[in-house]
Structures are given as structure tokens and as C-alpha cells.
Amino acid sequence: MFRFKNINILTIMIAVTLLFVSQEVIAQSVRSLVNDGVDLYKAGKYSDAEVKFKKAEEKDAENFHSYFNLGDALYKQGRYDDAIKAYQNSLALTKDDLLKAKIYHNVGNALLKKKKLKESIGSYIQSLKLNPKDLETKYNLSYALKQMKQNKKNRHKKFYVIGTHAICKNMKKTHIENLRDALKFEQYEIKLNEDIVRKARQPIEKMVSIKRG
């Protein structure tokens, strides 16, 4: 009976040891994939970095860095909805307030890119609650608030797109030096139809009269 028990205990010890070894091998593999992904990200290879981070997720579904870095790689590719999902997944995997603040900051950036000003403002505020000293988040929040204010001002205004027929193709060829020389040496006289001159003069005279008043 004793021998039978000893075999069971030995078997259990071997199984536990193998389990720990297996977990350590997986952890090392995940770290390696994440590090490779970070290197690719820094090299500007965002889609390749995405592949590495997703492989790390498959091996360890509770690895914070896999999801967070995946969010960054997706953001750089302009896939803002997917980036937000990745950031949100990473949020549940950390208790660190500074990391949570960074996540809310990044979500706010993705929402801002999507023109969702109200939601981005909410995310920046949440970030600042966790890290009130973050200057970048304060700046982004200020920018989003200004944009929202500007949008409200322009809500009832109509904007007209200038047609290609109204664009002077040679305008960019004219430099300040050319204008200076034209005025200085009285060069390049342009003759216009009197009706065009009259129509152009009216708004200028109106502006001058307003200024004098």
C-alpha cells in the first residue's frame, strides 16, 4: 500500500512540475511575441506587429500587453473601432490606475479620430480622474472641447466648396518676391473688364467704410 501511494505522489509531483514548466514556456513565448511585435511597431510595420500581438493573445488570453499593444498597432492602421475594442479588453486585465488612464487616453484619441467628440471628451475626463497630471490628455481634452464649441457655432452655417473652375492654376507660382518686384518696378500690368473691376471694388470699399466707422 505504501509503495502504491508513493507512486501516486510521484506522479502528481511530476504532473505539477510539467504544468509549471509548460506555463513558463508559454509565458516566455508570449513575451517573445510581444517583444517582436513592439520591435515591428517601432519600425513602422504595424500590420506585422498586429500579427505578433494576436498570436500572443492566442497563447495567453489574459496578457495585458498583448491587447494594449494590439490597440496601438490597429490605431496606427486607422482601424479605430478595432483599436477601441483591443484597448477595452486590456482595461479588464490591469488594476494599475496609470495604465487605466493611458487606456482611456488612447480610447479618447481613437474616438476623436472618428469625430465622436462627446465620447472622446468623456474618455479624456475618465483618464484625468485616474491621472490628473497628464499634460497630453489635458491638451487633447481642451482641443476636443474647442472642436465641439466650434461645431455648435457652425451648426446653422452653410459652407460652399469652391469648384475647380474657380481655382487659379498659376497662383502657387507667384511668390512674395514677385509681388514685391511688380509693385516696385510697376511691372506686369493686368487689364480687366470694367464690370469686373466695379464688382471687385464694391466689397473692398465696404470693408474700408466699416473700418473707418
The CATH number of 2-159 is which of 2.60.40.10, 3.40.50.2300, 2.30.33.40, 1.25.40.10? 1.25.40.10
Per-domain residue ranges for the chain?
2-159
pLDDT digits (tens, 9 = 90+) for 155-190: 766 655 555 555 566 656 666 777 677 777 777 777
Q: Tell me how far apart the alpha carbons of residues 161 and 179 are, in angstroms, rounded to a whole number.
A: 28
| Rounded average pLDDT over 182-210 | 77
Angstrom distances, CA of residue 198 to CA of 82, 166, 192: 57, 19, 10
Task: Give the predicted TM-score (pTM) of the model.
Answer: 0.62
Render pLDDT for 31-46 as a digit per residue (tens, 0 to 9): 888 888 899 999 999 9
N-terminal to C-terminal alpha carbon distance within the chain: 112
Percentage of the chain exceeding pLDDT 90: 46
